Amino acid sequence: MTHRFPVRVYYEDTDFGGIVYYANYLKFIERGRSEWVREMGIDQVAMKRDEGVVFAVRRVEADYHAPARYDDELIVTTDVEAVTGARLIVRQVVERDGVALFSALVTIVAINEAGAPARLPAAFRRNLH
């Protein structure tokens, strides 16, 4: 199921030319993923405290298709591409009026407090289906 998260482009998100600075798309998709996890009912603070597991981005493959500009209303979509025991791959797209401006394939891993790979928590995996 596609998760949708609205983002407004503020002046601070843009460069001198008034277009969104390239690195800020990564912030937009991070917010989209965080809200997606929250809306699944997963409390990441409790997950760290109770299970000793956190999520970390391992890889991002990104494409920039067209610029977003100051005051644009954007939508970040998040869709699950693949799930394994310790890894989740999501496709995220930043759109304006249904047109893709940025897209990324993001690999997220679960790690323990020592930074070693860990299994995705069962509650999280259940919520993906």
So which residues are the catalytic ones?
15
Place of tokens 């893709």: 100
Angstrom distance (rounded) from CA 106 to CA 79: 10
Angstrom distance (rounded) from CA 91 to CA 126: 19
Angstrom distance (rounded) from CA 109 to CA 99: 29
Amino acid at site 4: R
